[in-house]
Amino acid sequence: MKKIDSNNKARAKRKATRTILIAFSIVLFIVGIILVMIEPIKRMNRKKISTEALDFIEHQIEASNPVEEPQMTYVVPRTGNEVEGEGYDFGEETEEADNAEYGDTVTLNSIGILNISAINCRYSVWDTASQVSLRYGLGHYVDSVMPGEIGNATILGHNYRDGSMFHKLGNLKAGDEVKFTRTDGVVLTFYVTESKIISADDLLNYAAGNITTDRQLTLVTCTYEYGRYGWRRVVICKLSDECLPYVTEETSAIAESTPAGTQPDPTASGSSEPADTSPEPTDEPAVPPETSAENTTETTPAPEVQTESTETNSENTP
């Protein structure tokens, strides 16, 4: 009798152990599914919001008139759709961008729409390149000029492995069109003149607004061809001469409003003096930027910088 009771207890114990193991396996499976789905869900949310924001801004531009100032703002969530590795990126940060006391949302302000048909890239360009704004479109570097003005206008964007945002920026070739639609509906056409890979430490030499006296547009994204987080793809574009009538009137107005004997701002439209092309002081030794459209060979130290557009499978920002 005692032997039977002992066998029953042993069987009950084994059954309980199996039940616990099965339950634990189910829990681990569910947790694994959730972890695997987190990033695709975030990516889907980011794409949905950026598409809705683009549609709204596009509608506002089309519906605008000279009398009313179009509303170019769009509200997005502050948290929940973070991009992996964005803390290592080139985004500017404002105090309110990551401070919960400002609320659960962030209001983004659009300066226009960037459209690059060659790589199927069309997004709203927000007026700042913060971590939040870059999740839902492209960002304008605040220390650069506005697109079309005299000087360098810099627009930054993520390199998503799903092919969106600036993932295919390296595919652009000299002569490809890059169009920027201003909030007043004017479309400015730029042409690619140069594409290169630079060190992240040299980014300011290409992003600042006073590095040229041309009407230049510079597009920037991450690239991992030479190592994670350390390199940037830079595409330099020049404004088409056909667009000069849309910007010379503004230039003349600014020039006429400049008092005689004052030193003009080299980053402002209408400046008649050459811009100061020296880079801003940094903690690292400055490397002179190469902004000539005719110079297609990168001369920075090894690894050799590629000056022709290339598509790599290693660019894998989420």
- pLDDT, tens only, 265-290: 433 333 333 334 333 333 333 333 33
317 assigned to some structural domain: no
Query: What is the extent of the structural domain holding 201?
Result: 2-256
262 assigned to some structural domain: no
- Predicted model pTM: 0.70
Q: Which residues contact 231 (CB under 8 A, 6 or more apart)?
A: 197, 198, 199, 200, 222, 223, 224, 225
270 assigned to some structural domain: no
- pLDDT, tens only, 48-60: 999 999 999 999 9
Distance in angstroms (rounded) separating the CA atoms of residues 113 and 146: 12
- pLDDT, tens only, 181-234: 999 999 999 999 999 999 988 999 999 999 999 999 999 999 877 766 689 999
210 assigned to some structural domain: yes
106 assigned to some structural domain: yes
Distance in angstroms (rounded) separating the CA atoms of residues 19 and 186: 68
268 assigned to some structural domain: no
Q: Taking a C-beta distance cutoff of 8 angstroms, is the pair 166, 234 a contact?
A: no
- Provide the 8-state DSSP code for 263: -
